[in-house]
Structure 1
Amino acid sequence: MILPIVAYGDPVLKQKAKMIPAEYPDLEVLIDNMFETMYGASGVGLAAPQVGKSLRIFIVDTAPFSSDEDIEDEERKDLENFKKAFINAEIIEEKGDEWPFGEGCLSIPGINEDVFRQPDITIRYEDLDRKEHTETYTGLIARVIQHEYDHIEGVLFTDKLSSLKKRILKGKLKGISKGKVDADYRMRFPEKKGR
């Protein structure tokens, strides 16, 4: 089932998400719905807060990046086959020289800005069977994970922009929260009148 994506300005996007207990009901259904929602919106990642649930879960499928002509062949194969759900994740290390990349967000349609992030991460998380893993990622896969991880920490990519850039985008962001934006997927706007 495709869920509405929560727009910028909704308080759930600024909350640190809660841990998911082992007995959480219908977790697999939620994850399936999140994948369906993400694909329906042509995204590469989606976090539970973006569908209105303050839970420490996010999903990633980097296959769309594999068609980028600037990607080296070795990274292309990794991107093509990387699809995963991260439950109760914690990034335990980020390292390397920060590099910029144009990021967007399904909760903030129509805005794309360069964000600086470190290229290498180590993350601990649980899979759908609730088995714990500690893995290291690099490049675009690491970046997508960092972006989605920020969501479960209550951080948006716009929070990482310079104060000048934030001032420039302020009106556009306010418009998004009021529903004054074109998105070709279902959204829920916190300040839209008559919703």
Structure 2
Amino acid sequence: MAGNTRAELALAKLAKPEILGKGGFRLTSAAFKQGEELDPCFTSDEEDAVAPPLDWTAPPAEAAELVLIVEDPDAPGDEPFCHWLVWGLAPQQGQLLEGEVPPRVGKNSFGNSEWALPAPPHGDEAHEYIFQLFALDLPVALMPGAGRAELFAAMEGHVVAAAMLSANYARAESDGEEGEWDDVDIDSIDFDGN
């Protein structure tokens, strides 16, 4: 794998192990079960890919807001690749539908505010995509477009429960269509038909 930055995951930085699943707080998806493969329709391998659907149970009563962070610890770099920063979710049982735009979205590792489609390098072993849901004891006072560091700072010391769900994904092997033009000498082609 390209890297392993599990110690830098949001869960490792912001939550104590004993609050994982506190009060039965759980995160699931109708599209995949824990540890299963992520369908290509949620990745860069599909032209009109969207974020997968997610469902969660009610958080503990002291929760004031929910935050979702999706990271890939197997990407190269000093910290996990951030695919999605979402906050402003109501502190109750809920869901995000497939492709639904959340209330507030921060900047992913590409620097834009949307679901960053998983695109591990061809030839890499499967990367793990970790969906982390946090229940906070106060609302996040950040405007949409804030970055990972800003969101982490706002969450520090306020996580009362957390839930996690992960999926794996490796790019399909190239079917030979890409690169067919690599061996063609463009200068030798007579485009005028002469």
Normalising by structure 1, report the TM-score: 0.26
Which structure would you say has the larger Rg? 2
Normalising by structure 2, report the TM-score: 0.26
